[in-house]
Chain A
């Protein structure tokens, strides 16, 4: 059974940093592209980052480019999202997701990040 379990969320002040983790199990992690998707309270879904199987290629939307960094450790079957210079508009539930061919076929339960002073 595919499982994705996020951790590392919480309350953080604007301008500070936070690192999210996602522990994967039930599949060969190193064979899949992975991604982060977020959802602001009562809002829709927004793609945040994608990483290739080896970690050599990463992709971001303009809204987080230069501030967020996606990475992975295939030996630990783990995905990460380093978030720097956080803004109030980054407040959201962050989901770890496995990628199929451009679609997100499995999602974690999500972790809440609140950016507020």
Chain B
């Protein structure tokens, strides 16, 4: 099983601040996908195949990485970005999710 470790577990950012969330895989994966989950809501696909933004995702978001190290970056934090972000690999079964990073507004 490929274990995904996200860091940090929790963080707070001020409006306008640049934010980087990381996801490390225990073995190499082909792609990483990212989901945003706001409090009380269902998860939403946010970034797929490492760097492609899902429909409606603002272009202040970006994704990058390869092999065992991936990241999600917010160029300039906005209020609406406060949420929990999960990474997920679909390269090999069992598909797995990271534990999540809770991003709060400072």
User: Which A residues have a C-beta under 8 Å from some C-beta of B?
Assistant: 37, 44-47, 50, 59-62, 95, 100-110
Contact = CB atoms under 8 A, between A and B. Distances in A.
Interface of B: 31, 33, 35, 42-45, 48-49, 54, 86, 88-91, 93-100
Given A101-B90, A103-B49, A45 B43 contact: yes
Contacts, number: 62
Contacts of B35: 45, 104
Chain B at the A interface: SS class: loop
B42 A110 contact: yes
Contacts of A106: 45
Contacts of A37: 43
Given A101-B49, A102-B31, A47 B42 contact: no
B49 to A, nearest CB: 7
Given A107-B42, A108-B42, A102 B93 contact: no
